[in-house]
Amino acid sequence: MHTVISSPTRTVTIGSDQPFCIIGERINPTGRKKFQEQLRAGDLSMIAVDVEQQVAGGADVLDVNMGVPLTDEAELMRKAVVMVQSITDLPLCLDSSVIDALEAGLQVYQGKALVNSITAEDERADAVLPLVKRYGAAIIALTNDEFGIPMDPQERLAMCEKLMSLCERHGVPLEDLVIDPLCMTVGADSEAGKVLFETIHLIKEKHGLNMTIGASNISFGLPNRHAANAAFLPMAMQAGLTSAVMDARTEGIVTAVRAADLMLGNDAWGANWIARFRAKQAAEAAANA
């Protein structure tokens, strides 16, 4: 199964026979007070810095979230999408809890966007999926509903199947559905990783759908989070995960993902791995020159 998203000049294919799709998560004011104040004052300049860093770190797609309280989020999203597309050709993932903001972003987005997100709750799905259909986008869909997040992999699989039927109801093809099997925190529940890996494996084996997660959740509250995340993502990839929303600035984690591509046979002859190593050597040589 291939999920294809695009900008006017670049196409990204998500699939189990493709290099892992890194969705850079940084263009998001959540928890960033200064960025929020700038956006509220109409200053979008920080976005350019974030874009540059995510692109430099190796993001394949950029998540754009403009969730600033007490603003016209639809207007901010519209401006941000136009601005980001003016400085990078990476495809975008339009991320909002506000349906008007998703629609505003889709109206101006050039190409085939990814939309973040729906859950298995009918009300939101029935509002968002018609937009996804109308604009020919793809959609991230979380395996929870209004009653919570099941901790049994079979129940999460059932949630995935409900999401599939919601897509069918709205005429959104399954290749445009990217399931988020929900990454919880191992610090709070030692079984969280196992449950996730088993859910990913079940969804892959039974339906072959593409999947993405918010990867950094796994290590919340633990020390040495980068090392924990760098081990975790290759494990999830081995189980069948094909994408993650993550901060591309952390080199060790991106390197782990590219190593896992190699181990899964998605980097023939290690060409990307070797090119990555040479680029790093060249950068170090230039820095020391």
Q: Which of 267, 210, 199 has its CA nearest to residue 239?
A: 199
Confirm or reject binding of residue 20 to a second copy (CB under 8 A): no
Residue among 169 and 206 whose Cβ is closer to a second copy:
206
Task: Scan residues 69-98 and list those touching a second copy (CB under 8 A).
Answer: none
Contact 71, 79 (CB under 8 A): no
At closest approach, how far in Å is the CB of 64 from a second copy? 29
CA neighbours closer than 13 Å in the CB half-sphere of residue 252: 9
Instruction: Pick from 66, 218, 244, 248 the residue near a second copy by CB under 8 A.
Output: 218
Confirm or reject binding of residue 269 to a second copy (CB under 8 A): yes
Compute how many residues bind a second copy; rule: CB under 8 A: 40
What's the farthest any 2 CA atoms get from each other in the chain?
Answer: 60
Instruction: Pick from 231, 279, 282, 283 the residue near a second copy by CB under 8 A.
Output: 231
Task: Scan residues 176-195 and list those touching a second copy (CB under 8 A).
Answer: 186-187, 190-191, 193-194
What is the three-class DSSP state of 181? Answer: coil
Q: Are strands 3-6 and 11-14 parallel, antiparallel or unpaired?
A: antiparallel
Total residue length of the chain: 289
At closest approach, how far in Å is the CB of 260 from a second copy? 5
Q: What is the DSSP string of 216-236?
A: GGGGTT-SSHHHHHHHHHHHH
The residue ranges that bind a second copy (CB under 8 A) are 186-187, 190-191, 193-194, 197, 218, 222-224, 227-228, 230-232, 234-239, 252, 255-257, 259-260, 262-265, 267-270, 273-274, 277-278
